[in-house]
Structure formats: structure tokens, C-alpha cells
Structure 1
Amino acid sequence: MTLKLRAAAVTDRGLIRSGNQDSVHTGSWLVAVADGMGGMAAGDLASRIAIETIAPLDQPTPDEDLVAVLRDALAEASARIRAAVEAEPTRQGMGTTLTALLFSAAGTGLALAHIGDSRAYLLRDGMFTQVTRDDTFVQLLVDQGVIDAEQARSHPRRAVVTQALQGEPANPAYATATPVAGDRWLLCSDGLSNVVRSDSLAEALHSYPDRDACAKRLVDLALRAGGPDNITVVVADVVDEDDR
């Protein structure tokens, strides 16, 4: 059995924002979500730079090279963002989150890269797990026991990101995993995760086998919750190569 990655994505500006600063990539080997920050034009540019920089990784890659190529690509994306700021100082402070999943050529491994507060979740054998840890001020408070996860959902500083790709030194997180047939990954910007509860996310992933329909359902849930931010969703399934 040879495992493959099959993905669908939906992005929406939401009900409040005048534009969409999110960028997304879905391919046969790579899926990624980036959420720009630093003002309309700058946020758009930062997320686009990040996605355009890592998009060439969407090709067969050996298991042992997955983390290395992701690390190099994120470093290059940060350097390109720095160059864009140097070219136009009014862009100072722009940056982007990035959460990316890279599937190996053999279908026997995958790697995840993460910085910021876009998230990756995994649904495996009915168990729904948040795989990434938010780089946010509020997450630090949760880690310190100052507030709990429920209080974090409504905290006034929940959007304060402590790490992003901004052309400055940062420490993205990298992890590897062994894919299993039937795994369903959800990558999303905080326009989804900040307004839709985890149990509702899990229910949608369970209830909508079709990837496109599932992604649309998740965006709809965010819109029904007020859609205060841009919303980007990737639903990626690990399937046998004969499964479409």
C-alpha cells in the first residue's frame, strides 16, 4: 500500500475585514496556511512571500530530508520578508504565521513546520488532537497556569503573536510523524480556530467525508460565529493511492 496526500482548501475574507491577508497552498506533497499581519498591503505581501517561497517544496522528497528542506525554506521566506521591508520602510513590522505539512515521496513520513498561531490538527481513529502549539501571549498565560483554555478563548490579547516570520531571528517548531491511512489533517488560520470550538471542528471532520464539502462547512461555521477575521482552511487526507 502506497500512501498519498489529497487536500482541499477554502479561504474567505470573513464578514468584517475588507480584504484577505491569508495565503494558502494545496498540492500533492505540500499543504500550507499563512496568515499575514502588519496592515493590509504588508500582511498580504508577507503571507504571499511565505507561500511562494515554500511552494517549490511541493515535489517528492525523501523522508530524511523533510525537516531540513522545510527549515531552509522558512529561513529563506524570512530573509525575503526582511528584504521587502528594507526596500520599503513603511512595511516595518509586517510578518506572517506559517503552518506547513510536507509529505514524503515514499508516503512513509511527513514533517510539520509551524510558527505563529495558525494551527494544525489531526483526526486519527476518531481522536482529534491539536498538534501545534500557538506562539501567542495568551498561550504563555495558559502554560503558566494564569488562565485556562476556556478563558484564553475570550482573552482581549488572544491575537498577540509572540513569534512570526518577520525577517528577524525566530524559532519555528518542526515535528515529524508517520502517516497512517485514514488520517485527516486540518490546517487553518485563527479566523477559524478562534471562533469555532474544537468539538465542532472535530464533528465537521467526522461528518463530511468529502474534503471540499468539509472545508466549506468549516468556513461556514466560522462565518456563522461572526466571521470577524479572514478564514482559511485546508483539509488533507492520507489515502491509499487508489483512493481518490
Structure 2
Amino acid sequence: MTLKLRSVGASDRGLIRSGNQDALHAGTWLVAVADGMGGMAAGDLASAIAIEAVGPLDVETPEDALVAALQGAIHQATARIRQAVAEDPERQGMGTTLTALLFARTGSCLALAHVGDSRAYLFRGGVLKQVTRDDTFVQMLVDQGVITPDQASSHPRRAVVTQALQGEKVDPTYATMVPRAGDRWLLCSDGLSNVVRPDTLTEVLAEHPDAGECVRRLIDLALRAGGPDNITVAVADVVQE
């Protein structure tokens, strides 16, 4: 029996923003979420560049090549963003988060790449775990014991990211994991994670076996919470074939 990935994703502008600066890819081998920043025109361009750079990885990849493939795509995204800023100096400061999951062709391994404050969660055996660590000022304060995670969720500077893809040197986090049948992955922008509590995320992931319904429900909850930001959600199930 081989493990496969089945993913569904959707994005919503939210109720406050005039446009959507998020981008996503929900494919057979690759799931990725990017949240652009740095002004409307530049933010959506940066996130689009990041997703276009990782998109070609949605093919059968040997497990020993997963991390290198993600590193290469991020290197390419960084170069393209740098080029876009060089072409139009008004784009200075534009950037994007990127959280990407790449599944091996054998189904025996997956790799994660992460930079910024979008998130990847693993729902396994009824328990939700945040796998990525936010590259944010408030996460730094939590790590130092200055504030608690609860205080971080309402901190006035919680949107300040400490690194993103901006055309300069960046230090993404890479990890590999062994998938299990029944695993459910949630990748999202902070338009979801900032307004919907982890216990609610857990409930929805548990109660909606259909990934598409699950995505729609999560976006609906973020909208009901005021939809202050763009909301991008991808749910990927590890299934046995």
C-alpha cells in the first residue's frame, strides 16, 4: 500500500482588505501557502512569485531530493523578487511568507520549508500540533520567556515578521517527516491562525472528513471572526492507496 496526498485549498480576501495578497498551491505532491506584504501591488506580486517558483515541484520527487528541491525553489523565488524590486524601486520592501510541504513519490517521506508567519499544522490521532515556528517579533519574546503564548495572540506587534522572502539572504527552516495514513495537514496564512483558536481548528479538522468542506468551514469561521486579513487555507490528507 502506497501513501498519497489529497489536498484542497482556497483563499478569501476577507472583510477589510481591498485586495488579496495571498497565494496558494494545492496539488498532488506539493501544498504551499504564501502571504505577501509591502503594499498592494508589491505584496500580491511577491506571493505570486513564490508560488510560481515552488509550483514546478508538484511532480514525483525522490525522497532524498525533497529538501534540495525546496531550497532550489526558494533560491529562485528570492532572485526573482530581487529582480522585481530592481525593475521598479517602488516595490522596495515587498516580500512574502512561504510555507510549503513536498511529498515524496514513494509516500515514505515529506519535507517542509518555512519562512515568515504562515503556518503548517499536523492533525494526527486527534491531536493538533503546530509544526512550523513563526518568524515574528512576538514569537521571539515567547521564546525568551518575556510573554506567554496567550499574550502573543493579542500583542500589538504580532504582525511584525523577523524574516520573509524579500530578495535578500534568508534562512528558511527545513524539516523532513515520516507521514502516516490518516494524517491531516493544515497550511494557512495568519488570516486564519490569528483569529481562530487552535482548539476550534482541532474541532473542525476532526469533524469534517471532506477536505473541501473543512477548508470552507475554516474560512467561514475566520470571516465570522471579522475577517481582518486575507484568509488562505489548504487541507491535505495522507491516504492509503
- The question of a shared fold, defined as TM-score above 0.5 by the shorter chain, is answered with yes
Q: TM-score, normalised by structure 1?
A: 0.98
Corresponding position of 1:49: 49
1:51-200 correspondence runs (5 A): 51-200=51-200
Corresponding position of 1:236: 236
Q: Distance in 1 between matches of 2:202 and 2:115?
A: 23
Corresponding position of 2:39: 39
- Which secondary structure state, in structure 2, belongs to the residue aligned with residue 195 of structure 1? coil
How far residue 88 of structure 1 moved from its aligned partner, in angstroms, is 0.5
How far residue 40 of structure 1 moved from its aligned partner, in angstroms, is 0.3
- Which secondary structure state, in structure 2, belongs to the residue aligned with residue 191 of structure 1? helix
Letter in 2 for 1:135: D
Superimposed CA distance per residue, residues 30-63 of structure 1 (whole angstroms, 9 cap, x where no aligned partner): 0000000000000000000000011000000000
Superimposed CA distance per residue, residues 9-29 of structure 1 (whole angstroms, 9 cap, x where no aligned partner): 110000000100000001100
Letter in 2 for 1:155: H
Q: Distance in 1 between matches of 2:10 and 2:162?
A: 26
Letter in 1 for 2:77: A
Letter in 1 for 2:236: A
How far residue 192 of structure 1 moved from its aligned partner, in angstroms, is 0.2
Q: Distance in 2 between matches of 1:48 and 1:66?
A: 22
How far residue 127 of structure 1 moved from its aligned partner, in angstroms, is 1.4
Q: Distance in 2 between matches of 1:40 and 1:77?
A: 19
- Which secondary structure state, in structure 1, belongs to the residue aligned with residue 141 of structure 2? helix
Q: TM-score, normalised by structure 2?
A: 0.99
Q: Distance in 2 between matches of 1:106 and 1:151?
A: 42
How far residue 70 of structure 1 moved from its aligned partner, in angstroms, is 0.3
How far residue 240 of structure 1 moved from its aligned partner, in angstroms, is 1.0
Unaligned runs of 5+ in 1: none
- Which secondary structure state, in structure 2, belongs to the residue aligned with residue 76 of structure 1? helix
How far residue 138 of structure 1 moved from its aligned partner, in angstroms, is 0.4
Q: Distance in 1 between matches of 2:6 and 2:239?
A: 7
Unaligned runs of 5+ in 2: none
Letter in 2 for 1:89: P
Letter in 2 for 1:122: L
How far residue 196 of structure 1 moved from its aligned partner, in angstroms, is 0.6
RMSD over aligned CA atoms reads: 0.4
Q: Distance in 2 between matches of 1:202 and 1:165?
A: 29
